[in-house]
A and B are shown apart, each in its own frame.
Chain A
Amino acid sequence: MTDMAWKREEQAASELRQLYQRYGYTPYKMSQFEEYDLYVRNKDFLLSDQIITFSDGSGRLLALKPDVTLSIVKNAPEEPGVVRKVYYNENVYRDYREIHQTGLECVGDLGSYEIAEAVLLAVKSLKLLGGRCKLNLSHMGLIAAVLSACNFTPGEKKQAMDCLRQKNAHDLKRLCGDNGEAWNKLEALVNCGSSGQEALGRVQAVLTTPAEQQALAELGALWNILKDQENALRLDFSVGSDLGYYSGVVFRGYLEGIPESVLSGGQYDKLPRKMGRRSRAIGFAVYLDLLQQRQGDGDALDLDTVILHDGTVDTGVLTAAAENAAKTGSVLVCTSVPTDRRWKHLIRLGGGEATP
């Protein structure tokens, strides 16, 4: 990683931390290891099934944490009116890679305010990272209700879900066959466009069941609340996650210049329910290591000043020169020209004259 990319990642983590603190989120620090059993029981929730495991002295199987959410939800509060808001900045381990991730989780007795706040914070997080950004918004409750109304077999439901994720209208049409009502609904989800009220209106026109209408109304209300952020929001029903966990709004965030989503999250009430808890939950993760993919880092300079000396210069003189340069930027003192760095100013001491 270049110095510039590292600085950007650190700066982003710090700014995000301040943002989440301003909204009452407290830091959550988890241990590097967690009982392997927790991840096995909720394997479908994880983005990868490549979990690195270790045995401790007593033979217990532990996992190097592949995820933060499960540990937070495991201890979610269940008392009426109690909501726990936490943020984290952790390294997680998936597919034998260390991934720097920051994010937040809001668990407990959630209402519509907490849902809207989490989505708003997702938009604000993207904006903090700089450049053009978009948050693609969908609703798993709506997708589940539509698929349920289509009378698909479990296998067909999975195929339809895959087609929605891929914006694949042609295979959806084949799947629906003579089921015109199913095709009308699914086609609307694929082709409704991304522009808020217009897209919602188009979907509204083809929905028939109360469950579909209720989920769409929830999404419409959320869109209205967030309308000030409309320039960074898109409705997009290709954002879909596992039907077994996500229950409400789901979203993915993108930054221009990075070819994959840098933020991912949603409302996942079914996870605490699966763990036998009554809580509701919403959260998201920001994948800070992806920031280094942004174009432009390759053109950045690594150092402000390089002080090149020939070994004969008095150490006191070198120290004074380095201290002086460090007041205004980064400095490297060396005896040979560094071949792996780029710099703004080069100062030669001892063997030659100072070069700006």
Chain B
Amino acid sequence: MTDWINIALPKGRLGEKAYAMLKRSGYGCPSLESQSRKLIFENPDCGVRYFWVKPSDVAIYVERGAADVGIVGKDILLEYQPEVYELLDLGMGKCRMAVAGKKDFRDPVGQTLKVATKFPNITRNYYSGKCRDIDIIHLNGSIELAPILGLSHVIVDIVETGTTLRENDLQVYEEVVPISARLIANVASYTFREDAIRALRESLFRRVEENQ
């Protein structure tokens, strides 16, 4: 058994920002910064091994123990409910999960509300809390099209700046939950490597405090 800490990073801007924070915390990895087609990057000096994975897969890698820790959006945690530890709110990648619809939208309270979303579980939980009867239309992309074409009354989706919504005459009606990036850990990894994972968490915690 090696002493590496395996870290799953989400591909894209969030992952790059998270890596920058890890690097400032003493967990840099020069090979990761080179333009390489490798899939796994190691820095033996600080015992870390990184790999990039699809953002929605980070929690799976961590839950199944292929990664000891990972960086993942709260939206993914809420949607898939993996059995992992959620050790830290990194305070980055901030956005919100929201209900949005056309500007002239009026809630058809006498009928089932049609909701298009990539996040059926979050949507189901949100509306069941409001005792509202809904029909979930599970889409995989271009969610904003759904209310414009009459496929749904509203959408439940991640809103960052709101620019896409505005440009398509859509607007936010309700906030479901705020979202940001979280540090997660595999439960068994944490059990056996508590000191190393806590040290990583504390280093990142100090960076988060500095940024506030």
Contacts and interface: CB of A to CB of B under 8 A. Distances in A.
Nearest to A131: B1
Given A194-B194, A254-B191, A259 B86 contact: no
A166 B188 contact: no
B189 A259 contact: yes
Contacts of A261: 187-188
Nearest to B178: A174
A101 to B, nearest CB: 19
B89 to A, nearest CB: 4
A234 B189 CA distance: 13
Interface in A108-134: 132, 134
Contacts of A170: 86, 88-89
Given A134-B192, A254-B188, A254-B192, A167 B65 contact: no
Contact of B86 (A166, A257, A260): A166
Nearest to A236: B191
Interface in A259-276: 259-261
A260 B65 contact: yes
A234 B186 contact: no
A136 interface: yes
Contacts of B166: none
B84 A166 contact: yes
A10 B194 CA distance: 32
B24 interface: no
Contacts of A254: 187-188, 191-192
Interface string B74-88: 000000000111111
B179 to A, nearest CB: 12
B64 interface: yes
Contacts of A171: 86, 89
A305 interface: no
Contacts of A238: 85, 187
Given A259-B186, A260-B187, A167 B86 contact: yes
Secondary structure of the A contact surface, majority rule: loop
B65 A136 contact: no
B191 A234 contact: yes
A187 to B, nearest CB: 13
Contacts of A204: none
Interface in B178-203: 186-192, 194
Interface string A230-264: 00001010100000000000000010111111000
A26 interface: no
Nearest to A168: B86
A interface, size bucket: 10 to 19
A330 B181 CA distance: 53
Nearest to A135: B191
Interface in A168-218: 168, 170-171, 194
A216 to B, nearest CB: 21
Given A256-B1, A259-B65, A136 B85 contact: no
B192 A256 contact: yes
A170 B178 CA distance: 13
Contact of A259 (B1, B88, B89, B188): B188
Nearest to B90: A170
**Which among A132, A136, A170, A194 has the highest number of chain B CB atoms within 10 Å?**
A170
Contact of B188 (A167, A168, A260): A260
A254 B189 CA distance: 9
Nearest to B83: A260
Contacts of B186: 259
Interface in B79-106: 83-89
A166 B187 CA distance: 9
A167 B191 CA distance: 12
A170 B190 CA distance: 18
Nearest to A239: B187
Nearest to A195: B194
B1 A257 contact: yes
A251 B24 CA distance: 37
Contacts of A134: 191-192
Given A254-B188, A257-B1, A259-B64, A166 B194 contact: no
B117 to A, nearest CB: 22
A261 B84 CA distance: 12
Nearest to A155: B129
B83 to A, nearest CB: 8
Contacts of B63: 259
Interface of A: 132, 134, 136, 166-168, 170-171, 194, 234, 236, 238, 254, 256-261
13 contacts: A132-B192, A167-B85, A168-B86, A234-B194, A238-B85, A254-B192, A257-B1, A258-B188, A259-B63, A259-B64, A259-B186, A259-B188, A261-B188
